[in-house]
Amino acid sequence: MKVLIRKASREDAKQIAIVHVDSWRTTYKGIVADSFLNSLTYESKEKIWRNLNPDTVFVAEDEEGKIVGFAGFGPARSQEYGYDGELYAIYLLKEAQGAGVGKSLVRAAAEDLMNLNYQSMMLWVMNANPSKGFYERYSPEKVGEDTYAIEGTDHPETAFGWNLKELTARLNT
């Protein structure tokens, strides 16, 4: 799949919201309660994404101009793990998975963080997420474990981290 990776704009909020909701519904079906997945709405996510800082989000746009994925990133939300940057979210529509789109989004976020003088990046991933292996492919350091509660059910999650120079070298091979 050929995509254009570019910085997001506020005008992308509606399409980002669709990717956000649809990817949650396909990725976490059978993992997270259906009632939670059914409660996700495009409208509520669009309101959140309308307030995005465009400097902290990349989108992947297909040849027809449809956004098929996005990645949000910035300073680490916690200094507890010793990483200065963080990949907050990366979501792809089902049809964009396995086509190199995720790799391109992670590369764009990592390179942007490096250009801002960040040295490292971490992320949290739910252990049951079928895409967890995508991150493991780039030899992260396992830096933490926690649980994420959704509708009273705890979902174990793992924090992975990388030195940005090493990660970008792996992403460019």
For each of the domains in the chain, give its residue range(s) and CATH number, in order of start: 3-171 (3.40.630.30)
The alpha helices in the chain, defined as continuous H runs, are: 13-27, 34-39, 42-50, 101-115, 132-136, 164-171
| pLDDT tens string 20-34 | 999 999 999 999 999
| pLDDT tens string 74-126 | 999 999 999 999 999 999 999 999 999 999 999 999 999 999 999 999 999 99
For residue 173, what pLDDT band results from cuts at 50, 70 and 90?
Answer: confident
